[in-house]
Amino acid sequence: MIAASVTDYRELSRRRVPHFLFEYVDGGSYAQVTLGRNVSDLEQVALRQRVLRDVSKIDLSTTLFGQELSMPLALAPVGLAGLNARRGECQAVRAADAAGVPFTLSTVSACAMEEVAAAASRPFWFQLYMLRDRGFMREMIARAKAVDCPVMMFTVDLPLPGSRYRDVRSGLSGADNLKGEIRRMWQVLKRPRWAWDVGLNGRPLSLGNVASVMGADAPISDFLAWLGSNFDPSVTWDTLDFIRSEWDRPLVIKGILDPGDAREAAKLGADGIVVSNHGGRQLDGALSSARALPAIADAVRGEMTLLADGGVRSGLDVVRMLALGADGVLIGRPWVYALGDSGETGVRHVLQLIENEMRVAMALTGTTAINQIDANIIAQEGIA
């Protein structure tokens, strides 16, 4: 198959990476209702086609948090993403740098931030969870400063992990670690190309940022169990004072779905928020990002930078999110699917596809610059 879209890369990744890894990236929580809504609600945003406008020169460039970007897009943080290809986050950051967009490294990445910094040609963003161990968090923040990360993305919608049935069925999580280990090994053997490229030549297969507390040789199941037991459900808005005391650069709160929470984030001095339901991986049945975004934009527009993720599968979807009120858009699964199929080359191709699709969508809606994309290009019915 020749990949012509993000959905093509999804299928190619499914064929190449071990089943448990694909299920982890692809799946949502419970019955995956919110996961499905993220995609379907965004697809239903009807755009106004306009004609006979001069669209010979289209400019996708923008500025986010003081950084000049080639388009209003960033690669979202995705846990375990680096296991989809050999030293995967290093390949992804090179692709993002080449495209002129930010890469966001997850706390639970396969590659440590220092390794990613060595591979990068420009500073990348870093995502942090709130964990019980504040000393560990201080260490992560200090390390992010040391590699010159310009933006911290603080994830707030994970006081405890959502129930992800697909991870249990695949053997990635569950009570019986031995049975899961055997199941995962069998799945690896069925993907010999991945086993050679990543399993043997991509070592160490660990979560680099937390190896200092878990040990470099701990199995993935141990890492996931450690994280699950170390998320802090006692976190409140006051906790932002702790983050702010350690981090003096732009701070983005990720996981906002309610206008009241958006106003709280603005009141406490956040520089931006991500309208997000964690890719449908936490509260199943929650609003899709597309439905939540307009009310949040109305509540805090002009007070902070608004980013959004969830269900974005094309450049057309990026334009839809911008029209609904976002200043920038994060993509998660699309870049990981491409990474799983063909590494850095695949991620570069996905970013090129999205850029090309944005140009077509802008031309056909009569817009030539990012600041022209707003609710006026949405057809009257909005989300059908």
Catalytic residues: 278
Residues near 36 by beta carbon (within 8 Å), at least 6 away in sequence = 28, 280
> Alpha helices of 157-308 — where are they, by DSSP H?
165-170, 177-189, 192-194, 211-214, 220-230, 240-246, 259-267, 289-300
**d(C-alpha 105, C-alpha 143), whole Å:** 12
Quick count: other Cβ atoms within 10 Å of Cβ 222? 15
**d(C-alpha 351, C-alpha 66), whole Å:** 21
Q: Which helix (H) or strand (E) holds 311?
A: none
**d(C-alpha 188, C-alpha 193), whole Å:** 9
The neighbouring-strand residues paired with 256 are 275
Cβ-contact 307, 252 below 8 angstroms = yes
Bridge-based pairing state of the strands 152-155 and 67-69: unpaired
204 cis-preceded (ω within 30 degrees of 0): yes
Cβ-contact 123, 65 below 8 angstroms = no
Two tokens at 331?
């993509």
- Rg, Å, the chain Cα set: 20
Two tokens at 36?
């499905």
Helix axes 177-189, 19-26, angle to 10 degrees: 100
Two tokens at 145?
């400063």
Residues near 186 by beta carbon (within 8 Å), at least 6 away in sequence = none
